[in-house]
Amino acid sequence: MTISTPRLKSLPAWQKLKQHYKEISNVHMRELFTSQPDRFDDFSIAWQELLLDYSKNRITEETIQLLVELANECGLPEAIERMFTGEKINNTEGREVLHTALRSNINKPYNIVSGDDVMPEIRAELEKMKDFSDAVHSGRTTGYTGKPFTSVVNIGIGGSDLGPHMVVNALQYYQKDIDIYFVSNVDDADIAKTLKKLDPETTLFIISSKTFTTWETLTNAHTARKWFLQSGADSSALSKHFIAVSSNVPEATAFGVAEENIFEFWDWVGGRYSLWSAIGLSIALAVGYDKFSELLAGAHAMDKHFRTTPLEKNIPVILGLLGIWYDNFFGADSQAIIPYDQYLEYLPSYLQQADMESNGKRVTRNGEEVDYNTGLIVWGTTGTNGQHAYFQLLHQGTRLIPADFLAAVESLNDIGEHHRLLIANFLAQTEALIRGKTVDEARASLEESGLDNEAIEKILPHKVFPGNQPTNTIFYQKLTPFNLGALIAMYEHKIFAQGIIWDLNSFDQWGVELGKSLAKIIYDELDDNEPVTTHGQSTRGLINYFKQKSSMI
Ligand code: F6P
């Protein structure tokens, strides 16, 4: 075990930021806006159909300059190149990190440091996805009785579920006449409630698992197969209804998927970065291959922006640096993601995995224990729903919670007054969060309402809002596949930039292993009704309680 300490806190820019924090931490953003008349122009970035306004943050020009200095001292520009050129930056697994290749220009080579061009295999897999989704949509590929497929079920979990699930839901405005379901949880309720809605003759199952060893996914896949066969289908029909996406071809074949029905992806695509690969097959089936490729094009455009734009005008970098500012200097614990867009309902849960599985780490790339906080807790739901749930805490609670607010300029549905109302709320909330309401302002409103002095003094503390809560506002023109691809890539690169500054390997996930191996032991112990004598007191007590109570049923 190494005993050296990580270098981040000794970097000159970190030291300067510490000092700068002391100077700025008590300044209210109201003052910052007053003293900087062009603050909106200075602190916003327009790119393609996106606008990032980061002016409602507790920063000055100096803050950004120092944060950029920190990024340079941490070698962020070089690290970006290392990722794009296919160095094995996933050092604990000895792998390249090449999800950006999946969405690069398919007509050009994508050579990586080893000298290989990865495009031929990517191109072949994309071609296979296109052929397959076109064949399903045209009815060229059907179920075993000749009926066209009307339902697709993606069985997968984590990165093999959250990404495609979020995107299919987000792009449902463009959805073809086919239903897409996602089954992820090993809780039998998930598969049971889904199968109830399905007709075996017209259902296609995609078993999505990079490793093809994930317990939940295989259990659900076996249950689906049993259900299919019990419906009267012959086992020869299985190959028409069960396909797989996996980098583990032997295991997928062993499950019974015909080799030609296995869509491959590679160990240089991390699970939570895999929606751009054949893991996105459910997306292509939902909206058609052309829309899937627009999604890739949007992400590719963001990749170019990230790779080529100076750090101080680089959207993912700015977002990442602001996160570092609040996490490591202000001591924030969490960040909220609040899309004012019902189609982006699952964006917060998608970003939970993307961010927390990537940067929820406690040792540096070299294994030194960090002496600073790393990944923030990511949470959130759509606006305006959140306003009627947890916004009270944002406005008057005691915590600093930086939040990203996202909305489309144009609605896809444009029904009545809905969008105008939505946007009015969207803009009002970030304004309220920054401005707050001072004691004087609160008193003035109460006086206006005609209350007597005694009543005013009693209620006054409850009517004060401190404000000064930081937010980023992200406008996109419309929720198109292109803009969605760009937004997702924006967050991926933000997470990458933060991982570099914290000196983490953002591409492994060893922390998920312990619970998995303990579950295997307990699973075997739940095989009979005999009390166990192993484990710690609490777990032993719970296992035996469960055994006793379930055997009574
Ligand atoms: O348990 C975590 C994890 O390994 C994620 O990183 C991954 O996205 C998920 O499980 C699913 O893994 P697989 O695609 O191999 O089934």
pLDDT digits (tens, 9 = 90+) for 174-220: 999 999 999 999 999 999 999 999 999 999 999 999 999 999 999 99
What tokens appear for 459 in the block?
A: 């209620």
Tell me how crowded residue 226 is: count the other CB atoms within 10 A of its CB: 10
Measured in Å, residue 246 CA sits from the centre of ligand 1 at 11
Catalytic site positions: 357, 388, 516
The pLDDT value given to residue 414:
86
Ligand 1 nearest-atom number relative to CA 271: 8
Rounded CA gap, 490 and 316, in Å? 5
The pLDDT value given to residue 552:
66
What tokens appear for 320 in the block?
A: 């990442």
Please list the helix, strand and coil fractions of the chain in percent, rounded to the nearest 5, in that order: 55, 10, 35
Helix axes 119-138, 289-308, angle to 10 degrees: 150
Query: Ligand 1 pocket, 209 CB below 6 A?
Result: yes
**What DSSP character marks residue 35?**
H
Query: Ligand 1 pocket, 210 CB below 6 A?
Result: yes
CA diameter of the chain? 83
Query: Ligand 1 pocket, 509 CB below 6 A?
Result: yes
Rounded CA gap, 499 and 489, in Å? 15
368 Cβ neighbours under 8 A, 6+ residues apart = 2, 4, 5, 6
The pLDDT value given to residue 3:
54
What tokens appear for 209 in the block?
A: 């698992």
Tell me how crowded residue 523 is: count the other CB atoms within 10 A of its CB: 10
Asked if 66 and 12 count as a contact pair (C-beta separation under 8 A), the reply is: no
**Sheet with 50-53, side-by-side order of all strands:** 44-47, 50-53, 471-476, 403-408, 334-340, 377-379
The kind and range of the H/E element at 53 are: strand 50-53
Rounded CA gap, 514 and 13, in Å? 37
Query: Ligand 1 pocket, 214 CB below 6 A?
Result: yes
Nearest CA to ligand 1 atom 5: 158
Query: Ligand 1 pocket, 211 CB below 6 A?
Result: yes
pLDDT digits (tens, 9 = 90+) for 63-80: 999 999 999 999 999 999
H helix and E strand count, the chain? 24, 11
pTM (2 d.p.) = 0.97
Tell me how crowded residue 107 is: count the other CB atoms within 10 A of its CB: 7
* E strand spans, 54-174: 151-155
Nearest CA to ligand 1 atom 9: 158
Rounded CA gap, 473 and 427, in Å? 9
Rounded CA gap, 448 and 453, in Å? 12
The pLDDT value given to residue 6:
87
* Number of residues that this document lists for the chain: 553
Residues of the chain with pLDDT under 70: 1-3, 552-553
The pLDDT value given to residue 551:
80
What tokens appear for 437 in the block?
A: 């309401």
